[in-house]
């Protein structure tokens, strides 16, 4: 066989690609957007909080003009259509979608209202479906090819604590949606994969930890065999890999990035 002419580091460049990252105003999505921008991509920052979206886009543009932002709630079909149109109008195409926007309010089933249940499904599962569908249709219209990466959770495989039943169910749904979409869009050259983070230090987790017991947090740390809480960069590295040419033959898969929590 003739040796490949490709240099490995070049595989991870995203020059000329356009990526949408939902929930990129804060936390993991913010870290992913930064990695994408530094890898050469144009990045659309989408968040229901317009102020944080704008701040993220400004940060990225200060390093290299490459980013635009839009206020959009992923659970709204109208907002998701506006978001994809915005990306196409601004950058001409969509090559990568990261479905990061998600919520994780803590509430035991016994105290959970139907509205509590539905809001979590609406953002985490319906939102992933809506963004995935609109981006995949645009990628198909462009002639095919593209990457979709869904941010799920280790809770989709194993509940980490009481109070996240609605969340755990939504992320289990994201895993199955990932596989089904990979099957459906494979012939268009679109890969669909999911990343399942463990405990990652973000604004959202800080707010959640304030409402959970210190003992629960300590237990979580004890089980994490690498002995530290993860950072958004720990997740962004895996997402960049899946968005890159290095992962062209990977689809329908779920990648646990949890510092060893699930084996602990
Ligand atoms: N941090 C963790 O430990 C952890 C672990 C496993 C999975 N995850 C998943 O990673 C993703 C990001 O989590 P995070 O910790 O960075 O959260 P975060 O709360 O720090 O940031 C989430 C961002 O998403 C935005 N957002 C929320 N709802 C939205 C909506 N309906 N439409 C658009 N934007 C919306 C928020 O405004 C915020 O900017 C979520 O899907 C979460 O379930 C996080």
Q: What is the pLDDT of residue 109?
A: 98
Residue 75 in contact with ligand 1 by CB distance below 6 A: yes
Residue 33 in contact with ligand 1 by CB distance below 6 A: no
Residue 146 in contact with ligand 1 by CB distance below 6 A: no
Structural domains of the chain ordered from first start: 14-256 (3.40.50.720)
- Residue 249 designated active-site: no
Q: What is the pLDDT of residue 195?
A: 99
Q: What is the pLDDT of residue 222?
A: 85
Q: What is the pTM of this model?
A: 0.97
Give strand pairing partners of 192: 148
Residue 100 in contact with ligand 1 by CB distance below 6 A: yes
Cα angle, residue 80 at apex, residues 167 and 200 outer, rounded to 5° = 35
- Ligand 1 atom closest to Cα of 201? 1
Block mean pLDDT (10 aa), the chain, length 264: 84 98 98 98 98 98 98 99 98 98 98 98 99 98 98 97 97 99 98 98 90 73 92 98 98 98 94
Rounded to the nearest angstrom, the distance between the alpha carbon of 101 and the centre of ligand 1 is: 5
Active-site annotation holder among 67, 75, 167, 244: 167
153 CB-near residues (< 8 Å, 6+ apart): 102, 167, 168, 171, 196, 197
Torsion of CA 164, 31, 257, 243, to 10 degrees: 120
Q: What is the pLDDT of residue 220?
A: 78
Residue 97 host element (H or E): strand 96-99
């Amino acid at each position: 066989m003739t040796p490949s002419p490709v240099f490995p580091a070049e595989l991870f460049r995203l020059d000329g690609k356009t990526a949408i990252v939902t929930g990129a105003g804060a936390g993991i999505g913010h870290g992913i957007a930064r990695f994408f921008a530094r890898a050469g991509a144009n990045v659309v920052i989408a968040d229901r909080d317009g102020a944080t979206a704008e701040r993220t886009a400004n940060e990225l543009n200060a390093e290299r003009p490459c980013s635009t932002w839009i206020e959009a709630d992923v659970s709204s079909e109208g907002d998701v259509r506006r978001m994809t149109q915005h990306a196409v109008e601004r950058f001409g195409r969509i090559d990568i979608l990261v479905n990061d926007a998600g919520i994780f309010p803590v509430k035991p089933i016994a105290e959970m209202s139907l509205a509590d249940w539905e809001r979590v499904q609406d953002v985490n599962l319906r939102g992933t479906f809506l963004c995935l569908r609109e981006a995949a249709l645009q990628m198909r219209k462009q002639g095919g090819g593209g990457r979709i990466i869904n941010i799920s959770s280790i809770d989709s495989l194993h509940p980490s604590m009481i109070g996240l039943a609605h969340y755990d169910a939504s992320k289990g749904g994201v895993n199955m949606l990932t596989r089904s979409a990979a099957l459906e869009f494979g012939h268009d050259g679109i890969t669909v994969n999911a990343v399942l983070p463990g405990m990652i230090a973000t604004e959202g987790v800080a707010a959640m930890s304030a409402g959970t017991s210190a003992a629960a947090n300590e237990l979580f740390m004890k089980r994490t065999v690498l002995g530290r809480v993860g950072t958004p960069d720990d997740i962004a590295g895996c997402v960049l890999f899946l968005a890159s040419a290095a992962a062209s033959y990977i689809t329908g898969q779920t990648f646990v990035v949890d510092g060893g929590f699930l084996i602990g």
